[in-house]
Structure 1
Amino acid sequence: MTETGIHYLDARGPEGLRLYAIGDVHGRLDLLAAMHRRIESELEYKPTADWRVIHLGDYTDRGPDSRDVIDFLLDARARDPRHLMLAGNHDVGFLDFLAEPDADGLFMRYGGIQTAQSYGVTLPAASGWFGTAETALREGHATLVAAVPQAHVDFLRSLPFSVAFGDFFFCHAGIRPGVPLESQSPQDLIWIRDAFHDHPGLYPKVIVHGHTPVPEAEIMANRVNVDTLAWHSGTLSALVVDGADKRILTVEAQRFQS
C-alpha cells in the first residue's frame, strides 16, 4: 500500500472544486454557524468554480444545542445540496436509543442526556436497569421519541458513511488498513481508532476524519484529524482543500462547561 498510496503533501482536490471538511460539532450550534459564516465569506470574496462543505459526523450529544444543529444542517442542505453530511457514531447512537432505550449504551453514557434536553426532555442519569430507574428511563424515552421530529429521524437515517473527492477520502472515524476503500465497513468508518491511527503506511487516498479529539488539527502523511473537541474546547476546525493547496480553518467561541 505504501508504494501506491497518496502522501498528504502530494494530494490534490479536483480541479475547480474547493472542499471544506468540518470536524465533530457535538451540539455546538454557535461554532457550526460561525464556521458556515466563515466559509460563506471565503466563497464570496475568493470565489471558486464549485465547492462542497463536508460535515464529518457527530452532530449530537454533549453540547447544548443538538436539536438546533440538526435543524441548521437540514436548512443548509435544503438551500444547497453541496452541503454534505456524513454519519458519526453518536448520530447512529441517537437512532439506536430512539429505537430501544439502553441505560448502558452510547447515548446515555456519553452525552445523550444533553441531546434530550435540547428537545425539552429530561432523562434520568444512567443507573442500571432496575426498579424506578428503569421506569423513569422508559418514560423519558417515550417522551423523547414523541419530541424528536420525524424530519430529524429521516435526516439521521439518510447520512452516508463516506465520500471521496480527488485524492481525499472523508469519513467520521477512519478506515481499516488493507481493506479497499469501497469495501470499508460502516462500523469501522464510524468507530475505528488504534488500527487506523497506528498504521505507518500510506492509504490509497488521504483520509480526512474526526472522532478522536486532538488539541489542534492533526496533519499526518496519510490522514488529517479535524476533531478538536469543539463541544468543550470552543474550537471547531476544518480542512480546506483547493487544488494542491491545503490549510486548516478554525473558529472559536466560549468553552462549554457540561
Structure 2
Amino acid sequence: MPLMSATASRTVAASAPADTRIYAVGDIHGRADLLSEITARIDDDIRRRPIAHAVEIYLGDYIDRGPHSKTVLDLLAARLVANRAVCLRGNHEAVMEGFLRDPTILPYWLQLGGLQTLASYGVELHDENETAFSLHRRFVNAFPRAHELVMQCLRDHFCCGDFLFVHAGIRPNIPIEHQDVNDLIWIRSEFLDSTRKHERFIVHGHTPVPHPDIRPNRINIDTCAWRTGTLTCIAIEGSTILFL
C-alpha cells in the first residue's frame, strides 16, 4: 500500500482550477484541539502564500469518539460564515441526524461513539434505565440553533476542477450524478478495491489509515485523529498535493 509521509508532496493526474488552492481536512471526530491547529495552519498558509481563491473543505465525521464534538461544530460554524467553508456529511453526522428525528436509533448511535457527543453537549446518562426518549428530549433542548444550521449546510459531495470530495467514496462505474447518497457516506471495499479511473480524482476519508494513502485514482486522508492525534490537511494547487 503506497503511503505518504506527512512532509511529502505528490503530483497527480488531476488539476484544480487556475488561481485556486483547495484545503481538504480529514475526519475530526471530536478533536477540537487538532481542528484549531489545522485552521491556524490554513490561515497562516494563506497569509504566507496569498492566492485569488482559497477553498476550504471538511470531509465529514466531525462528531463522536473524541471528547469535544460540540466545540468542533462551533468551530466549523465559524468557518462556514467567515470562509464559506464546504462541510460534507459523514456517516456519523447522518446517524446523529437520524437520532434527532428518531430516538429509537440511540443504541446504534452509542455503538459509534455517540455517548461522547452527548456528553460534549452536557447530556449525561442519568442512569442505565433512562429511556431513549428522555435522552432525545434533553439532547434536542441542548442542541443549539447554530448547529442545526450547520447540519442544513452539509453537502454529500463537492466538485472542484478535476477533484471530487466525498466522505467515504463512490460506487465505481456509476456517474457522479447518479450516485446513491448512502454510498457517498458509507461505502468501503467496492470503492477502496477499485483501480479504475473515475470521472474525477477522489479525495475522501471514512476508512482510517496510518498515513495519507494516495493512489492513482484517489487519496484517503482519514488518519484516525481521535485516536492518533494526527489530523490531516492537504493543500491542492494545480496538480500538486501538499501536506500542511
TM-score of the aligned structures, taking structure 1 as reference length = 0.86
Deviations, residues 95-137 of structure 1 (Å, cap 9, x unaligned): 11111122432x2111110000000011379xxxxxx73x433
Q: In 2, Cα distance between the equivalents of 1:246 and 1:216?
A: 14
- 2:6 corresponding residue in structure 1: none
- Say whether 1:17 aligns with 2:20: yes
Q: 2:196 aligns with which of 192, 195, 201?
A: 201
- 1:256 corresponding residue in structure 2: none
Deviation of residue 157 (structure 1)? Answer: 2.8
- 1:234 corresponding residue in structure 2: 229
Deviation of residue 56 (structure 1)? Answer: 0.3
- 1:158 corresponding residue in structure 2: 153
Q: 2:112 aligns with which of 105, 110, 124?
A: 110
Q: 1:90 aligns with which of 92, 115, 119?
A: 92
Q: Tell me, yes or no, if the aligned pair for 2:56 and 2:83 is still in contact at 8 Å.
A: no
Identity %: 41
SS of alignment partner, residue 235 of structure 1: coil
- Say whether 1:246 aligns with 2:241: yes
Deviation of residue 65 (structure 1)? Answer: 0.8
Q: Tell me, yes or no, if the aligned pair for 1:87 and 1:160 is still in contact at 8 Å.
A: yes
Q: 1:147 aligns with which of 129, 138, 142?
A: 142
Q: Which moved more, 1:239-248 or 1:50-59?
A: 239-248
Q: Tell me, yes or no, if the aligned pair for 2:29 and 2:61 is still in contact at 8 Å.
A: yes
Q: In 2, Cα distance between the equivalents of 1:91 and 1:67?
A: 12
SS of alignment partner, residue 94 of structure 1: helix
Q: In 1, Cα distance between the equivalents of 2:47 and 2:66?
A: 30
Q: In 2, Cα distance between the equivalents of 1:155 and 1:67?
A: 12
Deviation of residue 154 (structure 1)? Answer: 2.7
TM-score of the aligned structures, taking structure 2 as reference length = 0.91
- Say whether 1:71 aligns with 2:66: no
Deviation of residue 86 (structure 1)? Answer: 0.7
- Say whether 1:182 aligns with 2:177: yes
Q: In 2, Cα distance between the equivalents of 1:223 and 1:141?
A: 38
Q: Tell me, yes or no, if the aligned pair for 1:28 and 1:231 is still in contact at 8 Å.
A: yes
Q: 2:218 aligns with which of 215, 223, 242?
A: 223
Deviation of residue 155 (structure 1)? Answer: 1.5
Structure 2: which 5+ runs fail to align? 1-10
- Say whether 1:56 aligns with 2:51: no
Deviation of residue 61 (structure 1)? Answer: 0.6
Count, aligned residues: 233
Deviation of residue 43 (structure 1)? Answer: 0.4
Amino acid in structure 2 at the alignment position of 1:148:
F
Q: Tell me, yes or no, if the aligned pair for 1:164 and 1:170 is still in contact at 8 Å.
A: yes
Q: Tell me, yes or no, if the aligned pair for 2:204 and 2:222 is still in contact at 8 Å.
A: yes
Structure 1: which 5+ runs fail to align? 1-7, 126-131, 250-258
- 2:123 corresponding residue in structure 1: 121
SS of alignment partner, residue 54 of structure 1: strand
SS of alignment partner, residue 117 of structure 1: helix
Q: Tell me, yes or no, if the aligned pair for 1:170 and 1:207 is still in contact at 8 Å.
A: yes
